[in-house]
Amino acid sequence: MPRSLLFVSAAVVALSSTPAQQPLTPPLPAVDVDAAFAAALPPRAESRWTLIPWRHSLTDALAEAKALQRPVYLYVNDGDVGSARC
Amino acid sequence: MRAGLLSDARIVALLRTLFVPVHVSALNTPHCLHDPRDEALLRSFVGKDTDRFEGGEREAFVLPDGTMQRVFLSLNGHDVGAFGSTAHQYTAAGRRDDAATRLFRHHGGVALRSVHGEMPEAWRTLWDDDHPDVLAVRHEPARWPEPAAGTQAFRVFVRNSYRMYDDLHGCQLAALPAATAAALGAALAAPTGRAELPRVAFVALAQAMVPRGMVDTLLATDSITGTLTLTATSRDGALVHGVVAGDYALRPRDKAEVGKRLNAAVLFRSSGRIAGHFTWDGATQTFRTLRGVTHDVDFAWLPEHGGDRDDFTPRHQVAFEWLAGDPRVR
């Protein structure tokens, strides 16, 4: 076979072996949703304040304190304390 | 939240046993008070021997006869009006240090002695880490907010750094009209199997995603962009399984959006992608599960004077889940 034909044949074989085209849009990254969900929650050591039986009415709490003869522990902060937007 | 001493299991046990714990908003954000009567009541306590209750964390014990004791700041480690912090409020480790419980221990003891004449036995025993009630608190799971019976909501968890604070967090419900879930389900059941969260619901979700650290952040609607799409990937009878995908951008332009206390308000930008998964139950017309998380987040605080080199690396993580209120709970 002449060298030119060998070159063309080799070129044809090479072209047919090229990798498939890359997709037009990159694939979505793999995200471990459940692991990321757990990581976004505060650790238990920082979450026990949710276990306190908070009253959200100082007026009613003072009446309760008088009935029970217990001191009120009053925690004040600006903003919406329930959602920690404060 | 900078919970500090309030996440100490001993203090939780003590508050449950010996006190009436109350958590209210300050007088500079009266619209956040749950009981409108409390504004006048809290103002009646304002005085030179107490505090103005106009911003920042304040604590006090109030006796059953209505007498307010000395106001103090556990996270700063001093009484109001005093200086020289002995507590370290900027880091989670500092907030869990015993220094953060010192003032509670002192003033709580004074209050109890005032009421009872002598210290109740529980005050001594519940400071023991090995007390059964303290151990029970240590093993109890956190109680995050739940939607009311008959309602639905996204429960949104946020965790972020805020300049000199290493790790703040918040949890908030973003209410969803019942029709929203039904419409999503109908679209998922259709041949296209694709549903987009309506703009109104997306904005509600995004408002709950804001990084914590400022007072009652409420973004303008046009400071929020993004979409959230549910796409079915498989069906199993009445169940539709699928993926959640989307993107978001929170770009407030006015300090009034980011905080009600302007001297503690810092603009920020946060954008990124959302990924998750869901299972829709066509038989009950509810989501069995729906979870989403942010990823590839670009987040920065934008302080007016460029910030401080000791600020912690900006970090903003969000996770959310769909919940329906328990109909058995009244």
Helix (H) or strand (E) run with residue A70 in it: none
Measured in Å, how far apart are chain A's first and last C-alpha atoms?
Answer: 83
Point out the least confidently predicted range of A25-34, B68-77, B188-197, B238-247. A25-34
B98: which DSSP letter?
A: G
CA-to-CA separations, B203 to B22, B97, B136, B175, B220, in angstroms, rounded = 31, 38, 39, 11, 10
Contact between chains at A61 and B29 (C-beta distance less than 8 A): no
**Is A73's CB within 8 Å of B64's CB?**
no
Residue of A46, A76, A79 with shortest CB distance to B53: A76
Question: What is the reported pLDDT for A14?
Answer: 37
The average pLDDT across B179-198 equals 92
Instruction: Calculate mean pLDDT across residues B156-171.
Output: 91
Beta bridge partners of B243: B231, B277
How close A63 comes to chain B (CA, Å)? Answer: 8
Query: Counting every residue, how long is chain B?
Result: 330
Model confidence at B1, in pLDDT bands (50, 70, 90)? low
H/E stretch holding B54:
none
- Whether the CB of B106 is below 8 Å from some CB of chain A: the reply is no
Binned at pLDDT 50, 70 and 90, residue B295 comes out as: very high
Nearest CB neighbour to A42, from listed B42, B60, B169: B169
Q: Which residues, 6+ apart, have CB-to-CB distance to A39 below 8 Å?
A: B159, B317, B319
Q: List, as one string, the DSSP characters of B250-298.
A: E---SHHHH-SSGGG--EEEEEEEEEEEEEEETTTTEEEEEEEEEEEEE
The answer, yes or no, to whether residue B329 has pLDDT greater than 90, is no
State ipTM: 0.89
**Mean pLDDT lowest among A40-44, B239-243, B321-325:** A40-44
- Cα–Cα distance between B212 and B231 in angstroms, integer? 31
**Model pLDDT, residue B234:** 93
Give phi and psi for B110, each to the nearest 5.
-60, -45
Q: What is the pLDDT of residue A5?
A: 40
- Which pLDDT value is given to residue B81? 76
Residue B7 scores a pLDDT above 60: yes
All residues of chain B having their beta carbon less than 8 Å from the beta carbon of residue A63 are none
For residue B212, which residues of chain A lie inside 8 Å, CB to CB?
84-85
Average pLDDT over residues A27-37: 81
**Measured between alpha carbons, how far is B25 from A74 in angstroms, rounded to an integer?**
11
* Test the B interface: residue of A52, A56, A60 with most B CBs within 10 Å: A52
CA pair distance B4, A46, nearest whole angstrom: 7
- With 0-12 CB in 10 A as exposed, 13-18 as middle and 19+ as buried, what is B103? buried
Q: Looking at residue B3, what is its pLDDT?
A: 63
Report how far residue B80's alpha carbon sits from residue A38's, in angstroms, rounded to the nearest whole number.
Answer: 37
How sure is the predictor about B259, in pLDDT bands with cuts at 50, 70 and 90? confident
Average pLDDT over residues B56-66: 93
What pLDDT shows up at residue B92? 75
Is B22–A54 a contact, with Cβ atoms under 8 angstroms apart?
A: yes
Please state, for a pLDDT cut of 70, what percent of chain B lies above it: 95
Q: What is the mean pLDDT of residues B212-228?
A: 93
Reduce the DSSP state of residue B107 to 3 states and report it.
Answer: helix
Average pLDDT of chain B to the nearest whole number: 91
Proportion of chain A in helix, strand, coil states, percent, rounded to 5: 50, 10, 40
- pLDDT 10s digits, A38-82: 999 988 888 999 999 999 999 999 999 999 999 999 999 887 766
What is the per-residue pLDDT for B277?
A: 96
Asked if A77 and B26 come within 8 Å (Cβ–Cβ), the reply is yes
Cα angle: A10, vertex A13, A19; to 5 degrees = 130
